Chains A and B, each alone.
Chain A
Amino acid sequence: DIQMTQSPSSLSASVGDRVTITCRASQSISIYLSWYQQKPGKAPNLLIYTTSNLQSGVPSRFTGSGSGTDFTLTISNLQPEDFATYYCQQTYSAPETFGQGTKVDIK
Chain B
Amino acid sequence: QQQLQESGPGLVKPSETLSLTCTVSGGSITSTYYYWGWIRQPPGKGLEWIGNLHYSGTAYYNPSLKSRVTISVDTSKSQFSLKLSSVTAADTAVYYCARVVWFQSGLGSHDYWGQGSLVTVSS
Residues of A at the B interface (CB closer than 8 Å) are 1, 32, 34, 36, 42-46, 49-50, 55, 87, 89, 91-101
Contacts and interface: CB of A to CB of B under 8 A. Distances in A.
Of the four ranges (under 10, 10 to 19, 20 to 34, 35 or more), the interface on chain B belongs to 20 to 34
A91 B108 contact: yes
Given A32-B104, A93-B107, A98 B48 contact: yes
A73 to B, nearest CB: 14
Given A43-B116, A44-B110, A87 B47 contact: yes
Contacts, number: 71
Interface in B20-67: 46-49, 52, 60-64
A96 B104 contact: no
Interface of B: 46-49, 52, 60-64, 96, 98, 101, 103-111, 113-116
The 9 closest A-B pairs by CB, nearest first: A43-B113, A49-B109, A96-B49, A91-B107, A95-B62, A98-B47, A34-B109, A46-B111, A100-B46
